[in-house]
Amino acid sequence: MTTPAQRWTISADPSSLLVLTNGYQSWSESELRPLTDTPLRASLPWMIDQGQDPLFPPSGQAGVWRSHGLMALIRPDGGGWVGCALDLSRSFAHWEARIDVDRVQVSCSIEGPDVDVVWQETSDVRDTVEQLAAQLGSTMGALNPAPLRVWCSWYSYYLDVTFDIMVDNARLAREKQLPFDVFQLDDGFQADLGDWLEPNPRFGRHAKELPAELKALGFRAGIWIAPFLVGPHSKLYAAHPEWMLQNEEGYPLLFGNNWGGTYATLDTTHPDVLTWLRELAATIRSWGYNYLKIDFLYGAAFPGVRHDASASRAEAYRRGLQAIRDGFGDGFILGCGAPLTPSIGLVDAMRTGPDVAPFWDDEARRVLLGDGAAPSARNALHTVLARWYQHLWYQNDPDVMIARRERSLLSDQERGALLGMLDVAGGLRASSDPIAMLDESALELLKASLRITTPDRPASLTERSGDTVTHFTRGSFNLLGVPVQGLAPHSFSGYTSENSVPSQPVELDLRDPIHG
C-alpha cells in the first residue's frame, strides 16, 4: 500500500540547518534540533510500541531525522523548507531528512492511498508551517470548539481514585469558586480494559452514578476510557478473541506494557467491533457524561493482521474513531495517545505531548533508555512547544498544571514553565491538584493557569534555549539546566516566582461551553 517515496535534494550546508519534527502520536517526541544531532531511539520494544510508530520510529542515527505528517528544515535566517501532506484521513505521511556529505536528502513516503504532498522553499518557515497546517486542517474539517477548563483525577490519585474523591473535589472547587467547566474521572473506575461498563470495587460506586452529583454542583461530567484496548484477562477478550488485531499466526496480538503487562487491541475493521464501539460511546453518553477522554488510541493503528486486509492503518483507525464519534454525538471528545493526523476533524481536542509529572525530568528513562515519551514536566514542554501550530487541527491539550507544592518535586521556576506552556499553547486547561491541598498562593497559581488564552506564535525558530521551540512572542522558555541570558534554568520569562501571573495573558470570551 506504500507508494514509492518522493525525493528532494537540498544543496545547503547540513551543519547550518535545524530540523522541526512532529512525532507520531500524542506522546511521541517532537522537537527542533540541529540536523547533525542524533535522535533518541527507545531501547525497549514496549517503549516503541507505546510511544512511537513501530513502522517508522526515530532513526537513532546521527543526521537522520523522521517526522510524521509535516517536517521543516530551517536556515540561520529563519527561511528554509517545509513539507506537508494535504489529506491524511486515510494515509500516513513519513518524512525523512538525511545528511548526505555536503547536502541533505529529503523523502516522503505515503502509507495508504496516495495523496498530494508539498515540499516548499520559504523565506519564513514559521509562516509556511502555519499556512500548510491550516490547509490540512481545513481539508480535514478540523473542529474548533470553545476550550474547556477541566479537573481530571489522574495526576494526583492515579488508579486509587474513588467516587468520594471525585465528589469531594468537585464540592470544594464549587465552594472556592474555581472556574472549572468539567470534572473528569480518569482511569481506575472500570473492572478491566474492555470491561468499561462494569465497576471496579476499589472505586466504591458505579461510574454511571457520578454525573448526577457533578451536575448538581454545576459541572459537566467527563470520563476516561481506552476504547480500543482489551486486557488479556478481561471478559471482552474471552468472549470475542476474533475481534482482536491478530498476529501472523492468527492469535490476538499482545503488545505495549502498562497496567502491569501487555494488552490486546480491537480490530476496528471488524463490523461487529464498530457496532460495539458505537454502543459503548452511546451508553456512556446516556449515563450523563458529555466529555469523553479517549486514550491509548494508537492501538487501532498498530501494525497487525486485520479483518479487512484492504484497509490502511490510518483508515482502520479512523473507522474506529468515527464509530466513537457517532455514538457520542455532539459531546466533547479529547483524544490522547492518539495518532495525530488521522484524528483531525473527529476530535474536539488532542493531547499534544507526553504526560506532565510532578518532577522535571526522568533522565534514566529519557537519556539511558532513549524514551522521550516518558511522563515528565520537561518532556511535556519539549514536545508541546514544538507543536505550537496544531491548534489549527483541534484544540490543543498541553496537559495539566501542577500548582500544589505538596507531593511534587517541581520548583517555583518549573511551575512557572508549566504555566507558560499553557499560556502559549492555548486550548484546554487542566489540573488534578487535590483542592484541599492548595494554600492561598497555590490557589492563585491554579486560577492563573485556568485563564483561557489564544495560542501564541514563535518569535524565532533559530534562537533556542533547549531542543525545541523556546522563543515565543509572549516570552521565552529556558529548558536547559543552566541560566541563559539572565533566564533561570527550567523557567519561562513571562512568569517567575516573584511575578505570580503570566505577563500578557490573553483572555478569550468563552462561548457557552455546555453543548449537549
Name the helix (H) or strand (E) containing 122.
strand 117-122
Q: Which is nearer to ligand 9PG, 222 or 375 (CB)?
A: 375
Q: Is 413 in the site for ligand 9PG (CB under 6 A)?
A: no
Q: Which is nearer to ligand 9PG, 429 or 464 (CB)?
A: 429
Encoded one letter per residue, x for contact with ligand 9PG by CB under 6 A and - for no contact, window 275-314 reads: --------------------x-------------------
CB 423 within 8 A of CB 456: yes
Instruction: Copy the grid coordinates of residue 285.
Output: 453518553
Kindly determine how many residues on this chain lie close enough to bind ligand 9PG according to the rule CB under 6 A: 13
Residue with cell 541533505: 104
Out of 49, 186, 192, 295, the active site residue is: 295
Q: Is 361 in the site for ligand 9PG (CB under 6 A)?
A: no
For residue 450, the minimal CB distance to ligand 9PG (Å) is 18
For residue 263, the minimal CB distance to ligand 9PG (Å) is 12
Q: Which is nearer to ligand 9PG, 337 or 358 (CB)?
A: 337
CB 433 within 8 A of CB 450: no
Instruction: Report residue 28: phi and psi, to 5°.
Output: -70, 135
The Cα–Cα gap between 27 and 446 comes to 24
Instruction: Copy the grid coordinates of residue 269.
Output: 475493521
Q: Is 224 in the site for ligand 9PG (CB under 6 A)?
A: yes
Q: Which is nearer to ligand 9PG, 362 or 456 (CB)?
A: 362
Q: Which is nearer to ligand 9PG, 312 or 383 (CB)?
A: 383
CB 262 within 8 A of CB 308: no
Q: Which is nearer to ligand 9PG, 252 or 337 (CB)?
A: 337
Q: Is 192 in the site for ligand 9PG (CB under 6 A)?
A: no
Which residues have a Cβ under 8 Å from the Cβ of 161 and sit 6 or more positions away? 153, 154, 185, 186, 187, 188, 189, 203
Which residues have a Cβ under 8 Å from the Cβ of 112 and sit 6 or more positions away? 1, 2, 90, 91, 92, 312, 313, 314, 315
For residue 324, the minimal CB distance to ligand 9PG (Å) is 16
Q: Which is nearer to ligand 9PG, 114 or 160 (CB)?
A: 160
For residue 373, the minimal CB distance to ligand 9PG (Å) is 6
CB 135 within 8 A of CB 25: no
The Cα–Cα gap between 307 and 417 comes to 46
Which residues have a Cβ under 8 Å from the Cβ of 109 and sit 6 or more positions away? 2, 3, 4, 5, 6, 93, 94
Q: Is 50 in the site for ligand 9PG (CB under 6 A)?
A: yes
Instruction: Copy the grid coordinates of residue 307.
Output: 479483518
Which residues have a Cβ under 8 Å from the Cβ of 429 and sit 6 or more positions away? 147, 148, 149, 150, 401, 422, 449, 450, 451, 452
Reported as half-sphere exposure (CB side, CA atoms, 13 A), residue 127 has a value of: 8
Q: Is 154 in the site for ligand 9PG (CB under 6 A)?
A: yes
Sign, Cα dihedral of 441, 446, 447, 451? positive
Q: Is 355 in the site for ligand 9PG (CB under 6 A)?
A: yes
For residue 53, the minimal CB distance to ligand 9PG (Å) is 15
For residue 50, the minimal CB distance to ligand 9PG (Å) is 5
Helix (H, G, I), strand (E, B) or coil at 15: helix
Q: Is 151 in the site for ligand 9PG (CB under 6 A)?
A: no
Q: Which is nearer to ligand 9PG, 245 or 334 (CB)?
A: 334
For residue 458, the minimal CB distance to ligand 9PG (Å) is 25
Is residue 272 part of the annotated active site? The answer reads no
Is residue 168 part of the annotated active site? The answer reads no
Q: Which is nearer to ligand 9PG, 147 or 188 (CB)?
A: 188
Q: Is 472 in the site for ligand 9PG (CB under 6 A)?
A: no
Residue type, 315: E
Widest CA span of the chain, in angstroms?
66
For residue 382, the minimal CB distance to ligand 9PG (Å) is 15
Which residue of 80, 231, 375, 420 would you call a contact of ligand 9PG, by CB under 6 A?
Answer: 375
Sign, Cα dihedral of 227, 228, 231, 232? positive
For residue 297, the minimal CB distance to ligand 9PG (Å) is 11
* Residue at shortest CB range from ligand 9PG: 187
For residue 257, the minimal CB distance to ligand 9PG (Å) is 8
- DSSP structure string for 186-241: -TTSEEETTEEEEE-GGGSS-GGGHHHHHHHTT-EEEEEE-TTEE-TTSHHHHH-G
Which residue of 53, 130, 186, 414 would you call a contact of ligand 9PG, by CB under 6 A?
Answer: 186
Q: Which is nearer to ligand 9PG, 449 or 465 (CB)?
A: 449
Which residue of 187, 192, 267, 362 would you call a contact of ligand 9PG, by CB under 6 A?
Answer: 187
From residue 476, alpha-carbon distances to 344, 426, 429, 495 in Å are 29, 16, 20, 10
Which residue of 323, 336, 347, 403 would you call a contact of ligand 9PG, by CB under 6 A?
Answer: 336
Out of 355, 362, 433, 467, the active site residue is: 355
Catalytic positions are 295, 355
Q: Which residues bind ligand 9PG (CB under 6 A)?
A: 27, 50-51, 154, 186-187, 224, 295, 336-337, 355, 373, 375
